[in-house]
Amino acid sequence: MNIPARICADHRLLGWCLVAVLSIPPLLGLLGVRMADEVVDGWVPEDVLEELRDVDRKFHFNAPLILVLECSDFFQPGRIEALHSTVASLRSMETVHDLAWMGDIPSVNLRGTRRLLLPDGSETLTPERLSEARAILTEHPLCRQNLISADGRTALLLVDVHVPDHVSEIRARARAGLEPAGINTRVTGVMALREVEDRTLHEDNLRIQMLAYLLVGVTAFLIFRRPAAMFIAGSGPIVGLVWSMGWLHLAGQSGNELAIIILPVMVTMIGYTDGVHLVVRIRQLRTTGSSARDAVFHAVQTVGPACLLTSITTAIGFGSLMLSHSDMISGFGRVSAIGVLVTFVAVILVNPLLANSRLGERIHVEQSGDVLRRIMTHGTFIVEFVSRHAGPVAATGILLTVMCTVAGIRLIPGDRLSTRVPQSSEAWEAMRHCDSEFGGVRSVHLVVRWSEGTMRKDIWEIVRRCEQILEEEGVGPVSSIRTALTVYGVPNAKDRSILVSQLPADLRERFYRKDLSSTLVAGRLKDADVESLGGVFDRIETKLQGLARDHSGFEVKLVSDIIVESRVVRQIIEELMESLLAAAFIIFGVLAVSFRSLRIGLISIVPNIMPLAIAAAIRLLINDSLGIAGACSFAICLGIAVDDTIHYLSHFQRERAKGCTAVEANRHTFVYVGSALMMTTLVMTSGLATVLISRLPPHVNFAAMGCATLAAALPADLLVLPALLSLFPGRKPSESAEQTHGAESGEITPVESVGTLLAQE
């Protein structure tokens, strides 16, 4: 840290020129310049998505948007006319690729003559004709609990639309045509739920960020009690945020959904942690009479290596997410690691340069005016008690960590579509209604393929067995080509495969493609946790494998977006936990190498695992499922928790280098570093807590887990860590107290590595 220290202390103009030069590339990125094509990371691999699209193209059975219509009686002349008119209007929209509803269900005789069961404008809508239509449609296999509820009070319009931006337009057009006729209209389905999620995200994003920054600013002002100190501490992180976002745009990496949501607040908070430690150290030195130049030089030399090490370990925590097979998670880990390192460079330059300017002349207060330092000074009896009773305190911390870890590993992967949107939203309420009346809104498809020359009766037998398998596993109303044959209205129509060639083409091709040697069996599932759905899908696939063994020449594949989602979520959460474990080992190894002590590496394990274990145990008490947001928070908070430990260990080692005993070193570190830890914990928890007001449950879960982890990290570093250091203080450093004292007064020898300053053993 010699070069940054001398630049900030003695060559300020050079320092500001360096900041300006480093700002050019990210500013170009924010202005639209690109060094590479934009990469859009997705949750699901592209080959899997293409398979889903292929099924949709072949069978036209996709319905990501569902219009849920409700009224006491649809079968009245005015309402029937409104339904036909609205359907025609929706079908005329360019973005609507297909639409299915009960008005499409025909009655077909053996000569192929077709007649719609629901009369349209070409017929006289007499009460008798409408009563007949009601009786038939509410019992028809293609319609009952597929397109109309058993009680006839709810009907569905299944819409295939590929552009979510037009959901609002479709909703408005449907309501304009139906609500004047007394038909209540709501929109749900996968696309509608995601549209609500995106809309809520954009509405909440700016509001939460502004509130977070305001709350952080107020908290920082109350703590620092000097606007200049608050401004200096926050300037580096803000510059780091601009640099991070600019570089991501420049490199074409700004399309990651998680990065857009989490990265701005996260990078700002992490950078602010380092900024606070620097400013606190500068204030402490100024209070004791050091000049601005000497205070900046010493702070960068002593605190800078710790900040560098915290940035490296935090980047490792984020970088571990790159092990995930999910492009979304690995991309988030990649851009976050870059953001952390870029922000460190901004903080280590901008904060000291400002502190060494006229703005920094009055950043310090008298010791009597430093509220947190007074609190920590009066609280030294706590750390002295901990140091003198280190055995019981350390044992309690280790036991608590073990107990919470055992409880936390009982968390199971848990995520569902309904937990991603506000429960007060129209789409959520309509989905719950469909779950009870129609068996759900999520589609499950079995695609049956056969070899050339296969007999049609064998195909029908396979289709029948597929229907049975889905029904046995609780999949909702099942439809297939056999169900479509019921439009003939003759006994045993389902099994009269010879009639398939006479079916209306639009109906036949929803289920059966002779030209492609394929047929579709479809059902619905209620929204549920991925863990329970995973068991359902595993059992279905096991039965399908047995079916394929018993019938050679057939291939039956389970295809559905909900299946892909459940497996992707389970895989992502498992990979996040694996990457967290890998990151933990790497981080503790880095600490051992940096401090040149295996003892330090082992000691640091407990205070860093303890906050994560406590947060996991709290989560288990609230809910035994862990979603992607909660899993991500573990990896993120591990890197943040390690930061506090590094700063404590760094100052403790310097105190030991002066010849202090472990008790004395803990007492001094408790006062000097503890106040900074209190500041960063208060500020970061305040900022993160603002996300709790989000209307999106995943964001609330992320914030809750993060706040719990940060809150638990403070006692772990100020109570358990001092106890462990008192039990295992290590040998005294070889350097004399006079040599170290000279270094602290400004006579600092060149630093060859992070470890030479952090570990003087």
Taking CA atoms, 55 is separated from 60, 326, 600, 688, in Å, by 8, 23, 57, 43
Average pLDDT over residues 5-10: 90
Residue with the larger pLDDT of the pair 160 and 220: 160
Q: Label residue 460 by pLDDT band (50, 70, 90).
A: very high
| CA–CA distance, 595 with 592 (Å, rounded to integer) | 5
**Which tens digit of pLDDT belongs to each residue from 401-431?**
899 888 888 887 777 777 778 888 899 899 9
- CATH 3.30.70 residue ranges of the chain are 65-188, 426-566
Residue 45 has a pLDDT of 62
Q: Looking at the DSSP assignment, which residues form a beta bridge with residue 96?
A: 161
Q: Over the chain, what is the mean pLDDT?
A: 81
Backbone φ and ψ for 364, nearest 5 degrees, come out as -95, 160
- Domain 65-188, CATH class in plain words: alpha beta
Size (the chain), residues: 761
**Non-local CB neighbours of 662 within 8 Å, separated by 6+ positions:** 387, 656, 725, 726, 729
For residues 651, 657, 660, 664, the Cα torsion angle rounded to the nearest 10 degrees is 10
**Which tens digit of pLDDT belongs to each residue from 494-549?**
988 888 888 888 888 889 998 889 999 999 888 887 777 778 888 999 999 999 88
- CATH 1.20.1640.10 residue ranges of the chain are 2-33+195-358+371-418+567-758
Give 286-290 contacts, CB < 8 A, sequence gap 24+: 286/363, 286/364, 287/364, 287/365, 287/366, 287/367, 287/370, 290/746
Q: Label residue 187 by pLDDT band (50, 70, 90).
A: very high
Residue 731 has a pLDDT of 67
* Residue 658 three-state SS: coil
Specify whether the CB–CB gap between 521 and 560 falls below 8 A: no
Residue 255 has a pLDDT of 66
Specify whether the CB–CB gap between 233 and 351 falls below 8 A: yes
| CA–CA distance, 495 with 669 (Å, rounded to integer) | 82
**Non-local CB neighbours of 442 within 8 Å, separated by 6+ positions:** 190, 417, 524, 525, 526, 527, 560, 561, 562
Average pLDDT over residues 558-586: 73
Secondary structure element (H or E) that encloses residue 28, with its range: helix 12-30
**Which tens digit of pLDDT belongs to each residue from 127-156?**
888 898 999 999 999 898 889 998 999 999
Number of C-beta neighbours around residue 730 at 10 A: 16
pTM exceeding 0.75:
no
Cite the DSSP H helix spans in 530-661: 530-550, 561-594, 598-603, 605-622, 628-657
Lowest-pLDDT range of 24-28, 78-82, 110-114? 110-114
Residue with the larger pLDDT of the pair 366 and 617: 617
Residue 377, pLDDT above cutoff 90 = no
Just give the CATH number of 426-566: 3.30.70
Residue 622 has a pLDDT of 78
For residues 731, 735, 737, 743, the Cα torsion angle rounded to the nearest 10 degrees is -130
**Non-local CB neighbours of 156 within 8 Å, separated by 6+ positions:** 66, 67, 68, 69, 101, 146, 147, 148, 434, 438
Nearest partner of 59 among 513, 515, 514, judged by Cα = 513
| CA–CA distance, 340 with 328 (Å, rounded to integer) | 18
DSSP 144: B
Q: Label residue 368 by pLDDT band (50, 70, 90).
A: very low
- Domain 2-33+195-358+371-418+567-758, CATH class in plain words: mainly alpha
Residue 49 has a pLDDT of 66
For the chain, helix, strand, coil in percent to 5 are 70, 10, 20
3-state secondary structure 492-529: CHHHCHHHHHHCCHHHHHHHEEHHHCEEEEEEEECCCC
Residue 689, pLDDT above cutoff 90 = no
Residue 177 has a pLDDT of 94
| CA–CA distance, 545 with 538 (Å, rounded to integer) | 11
